[in-house]
Chains A and B, each alone.
Chain A
Amino acid sequence: MTNKIFKTLLTGAFFTIGSASVSLSAECIAPANPGGGWDFTCRSITKIMYDIGAVDSPVQVTNMAGGGGGLAYAHVVNERNSDSELIVAASSATATRLAQNAYSGMTYDQVRFLGAIGADPGVIVVAADSPHKTLNDLLDAVIANPSQHAFAGGSAAGGFDHLKVLMALGKKGFTDISKVKYIGVDGDADAITQTVGGFTSAMTGDISGVVGFIKSGDVRVLASFTDERIPGFENIPTAKEQGVDVVAVNWRGLYTPKGASEESYKNWTEALRKVGDSAEWAAAMKANGLAPFNKVGPNFQDYVVGVMAEIQALSKELGVMK
C-alpha cells in the first residue's frame, strides 16, 4: 500500500521537478508551438550558442504559443521585463503584427531587439505543370482575371505571405486588393500541397519551406523577393530583375526584455554575433535554405523600426488595417 502511494508521489515529483527546473537556467521563448520558424530559431541558435561555448550552460527552450506571438510578447512586457536570462525568437511576422497593431496595443519599443542572423527569402512558387513561366505571366494573368486565380500561403489573411503578393501586384499598378484571392493554410508545406494539387494557382512563402519540392521537380519558383539572387539558388530570378521591385525577407532573430541589464544585452548580442559567425550556423542556414542576413545590436533596432513604418504604410494603403 505505502509502496503504491510512494510510486504515485514519485511519478508526480518526477514531472514536477522536470518542469520546475526550467526557470533555473537561461531561457529562450519560442512564441509558437514546436515545428515552426520561431521554434527553429530558438532551438538552433541556443544549441549552437552552447556548442561553441558562447554560453556556459544549455539554454532551455520554452514554447509559448498564442496570439501569433502576442501572448509571449505580453508575458515578456508585463511579467519578465527585468529578466536578464531571457531571449525570445522573433521574425518579420513579429514586426508585421506589431506594425498592424495586432498585439492589442503593445508597441515595438516595449522590448529590445537583439539582432537577426539569417533571413528566409520570400518566394512565389507555381506547380511544375503551371502555364505561368515568369512572375509577370502570373501577375498579368491575375490582373486580367482575378477570380480565376488564388494564392495559398502559410500566414493568415493580412499576414506577411499575403502582403508579399499584394505588394507585387501593387507594383504592377493593381490595387483592387479585395479581388485577390488568398487562402491561409497551416504552413509553407501545406500551401505547396494545395498548389501542386491544383487547388490554387500559386504559393507565396519562404524558400526554406520549398527547398525539397524544388529539388524533386514538383514546383517552379517564379521569383525571389531579394536584392540579389539567393546563394545556392542562382537560377531563380529575383522579382526586381523582372521589373517588380519588391524585397521581402523573413528575418530570423531575437529580442530581450527592455528592463534587462545593459551588461546582459551586451552578452547576448556578443553570443548571437558568435553564432552568426560560426561554421555550425552556416551549415544550419544552408540546410534550411536561409540566406545570410547579419544585423546585430542597436542598428538592428533601427532596421526593425524602418521596416515597420513601411509595413504600416502598406497595410493602410492596402486596407488590411485601418
Chain B
Amino acid sequence: MELLNNLALGFQVAITPTTLSLAVIGCILGTIIGALPGLGPSNGVAILIPLSFSFNLDATQALVLMTSVYYGAMYGGRISSILLNIPGDEPAMMTTLDGYPMAKKGRAGDALVLSGFASFVGAFLATIGLMLLAPILARIAFLFGPAEYFALYLLAFCTLGGIGSQNQAKAAVSVCLGLGLAMIGVDNSTGMTRFTGGNLHLFDGIDFLVAIVGLFAVTEVFVFIESHGKDSTIGVKLTKITIPIKDIIFTRWTILRGTLVGFVAGLLPGAGASLGSFLAYMSEKALAKDKSLFGKGDPRGIAAPEAGNNAAAGGALVPMLTLGVPGSGTTAVLLALLMTLNITPGPLLFTERPEVVWGLIATLLIANFVLLILNVPLVKIFAKILQVPASILLPGVTMISFVGIFSLSGSHFDLLLMIGFGVLGFVLRKLEIPVVPVILGILLGEHMEVSLRRAMVLSDGDWTYLFSSNISIGLWAAAVIGFLAPIFLRPYLKKPVAHKTDIK
C-alpha cells in the first residue's frame, strides 16, 4: 500500500504538461545521441546539463530531462550497431555481433524491432526492480570486496573465448592487446605513471570511447577508401517495419534471462551496462543448444545484450541513489547533476527526498513507454538518418565522432589517438582479428587489475585471500567451468564449429 502511495506521489510529480514534454524531448534527444557514434549517454548527458540550467528547470524537471536522455541513449545505441556495424555507445557493442549480420540478411527492420522490444522489457523490469528492492539491493555492494570483484572480472574474461570470431587464439590476442592498453596511465596503488612517456594526456589512461570510435568508425573509413567504396560493409537496406512475433516468442526467455543478468551486473558499482550486456550475451550463448548461428544473425544474440544493457542501466541507478556510488559513467554524470541540485544521494535519500526518488521512478516508467513508441513504430525515422549513401554518411558520421570525442576532453590529442585506433582496427581487420575483445580488455582490464592489486595490499600478498569468501569461490567456479566447458563439450555438440571467421 505504501508503495502505491509513493508511486502516486511520483506520478503526481511526473505528470504535468511540462515534465511530460521534457520526457518526450529527452527521449528523442537521447535516442539520437545514442545512435550517433562518439556521443554516448555520458557525454550526451554532460553536454545537456548546462541546458537545463539555462532553461531554469527545477530539480525534478532537470532530473526528468536527463534520465530520459539516459534511457533514450541506451535504446538508441543499438540503431547504429545494427545498421552500420558501428556501436553508438559502448554498451551497444555486443549488439553488433548478431545485429549487423541479421541486417545484412535483409532483416534490419526485424532486428531493430526485436532489439527495441528487448530494450523495453529489460528497462521496464529493471525499473520495477529498482522500485521494489532498491534499499535491500543496495546491501549487495557491501558484499563485494576486491577479491570478489577480481573473480567477477575474471569470469567475464574466461567466457570470452571465440567471441566475434571462431578462432579462440585470435580472440585471445585481441584481449591481450586490450589488457595491455588498459595498463597505460597512473597506477592507483602506487601513484606512479606507466607507459605514458611523460604525456599528461595519457595520465588517466585511454578513454574507451576514443578506442571504440577509432576501432569501429574510423576503421570503416579506411576500408571504404581502400575499396573505393565497393567493399564497405555500410549500407544496409531497411526493409518494411513489421513486428517479428515469431522472433519475440522465440526469444522470450532469452530476454528475461538477459534482464536478470544485466540488472545484477548493474547493481555492482563499477561494473555497469557494458559488463551487463556482455555477460547477458555470453550466458545466452553458453545456454543455447545450437550455437552455430551466434555471430551470424541469431535473434537471441540481439535480444540478450539489449535486454541486458537496458536492465543494467536501471540496475546502476540502485547504488547511485542509495549509496552515492555511480555504477557507470552516465550515472556518475547523473550523480553530479543531483549534487548540483543540492540533492545528496545516500542511504537516506528514499526517506528524506521521496518526491525526488519517486518522481524519478515514475519518469523512468513513462520514458520507457515513450521510448517503446519511438523505437518500434517510429524507428524508421531514426533509421533514415543512417540511410543515406555511404559516401555521404561515412564522412558525416566521422565528423560527428570527431566533435563528440573532442567534447570529452577538449584536447586534440584524443583525436590523434582515435585515428591511431582507426589504423590499428584496419590492421586487425586485415588479419581477421576481432576488435570487440580489445575494447573489453580496455574497459574491464583496468578494474580487474586494480581489484587484484587492492586484494594483494589487503592480504599482504597472500593469494589465498582471493578464495576467502563464498561469493568469490562461486565466481571462480563459474569462471573455470566457463573456460573449460566448451573445450570438453565440443565433441558432443551436434555440429562442429565452422572454422571460418565472420569478421568482415
Residues of A within 8 A of B (CB): 4-5, 7-9, 11-12, 15-16, 18-19, 33-36, 39-40, 43-44, 47, 50, 58, 60-68, 70-71, 74-75, 103-104, 147, 150, 156-159, 181-187, 189-190, 192-194, 196-200, 208-209, 211-213, 215-216, 218, 283-284, 287-289, 320
Contacts and interface: CB of A to CB of B under 8 A. Distances in A.
Contact of A183 (B335, B339, B454): B454
Contacts of A289: 344
Contact of B400 (A15, A39, A60, A215): A15
B208 to A, nearest CB: 13
Given A40-B336, A183-B189, A212-B324, A7 B203 contact: no
Q: Is the interface of B mostly helix, strand, loop or mixed?
A: helix
Nearest to A194: B145
B106 interface: no
11 contacts: A4-B384, A11-B400, A35-B336, A43-B340, A44-B340, A61-B50, A67-B201, A68-B186, A185-B454, A186-B325, A199-B146
B333 interface: yes
A22 to B, nearest CB: 9
A283 B342 contact: yes
B203 A197 contact: no
A193 B142 contact: yes
Given A16-B403, A287-B342, A34 B454 contact: no
A182 to B, nearest CB: 8
Contacts of A186: 269-270, 325
A8 B393 contact: yes
Interface residues of B, number: 68
Nearest to A187: B325
B339 A70 contact: no
Contacts of A200: 458
Interface string B383-409: 011011000110010011001101101
A172 B42 CA distance: 45
B347 interface: yes
Nearest to B33: A15
A43 B53 CA distance: 10
A79 to B, nearest CB: 10
B200 interface: yes
B346 A212 contact: yes
B348 A288 contact: no
Given A40-B340, A61-B50, A71 B201 contact: yes
A70 B200 contact: yes
A134 B32 CA distance: 54
B384 to A, nearest CB: 6
A66 B191 contact: no
B395 to A, nearest CB: 10
A8 B396 contact: yes
Given A74-B200, A181-B458, A211-B344, 18 more contacts: A15-B36, A19-B403, A35-B326, A35-B336, A43-B49, A43-B336, A67-B200, A67-B203, A68-B203, A68-B204, A71-B203, A104-B198, A156-B188, A190-B325, A197-B145, A198-B145, A284-B342, A289-B344
Nearest to A18: B47
Contact of A64 (B50, B270, B339, B409): B409
Kindly name the residue among B36, B324, B458 whose own CB sees the greatest number of chain A CB atoms within 10 A. Answer: B324
Nearest to B349: A212
A44 B146 CA distance: 34
A209 B344 CA distance: 9
A123 to B, nearest CB: 15
Given A68-B186, A185-B454, A5 B392 contact: yes
A75 B403 CA distance: 19
B41 interface: no
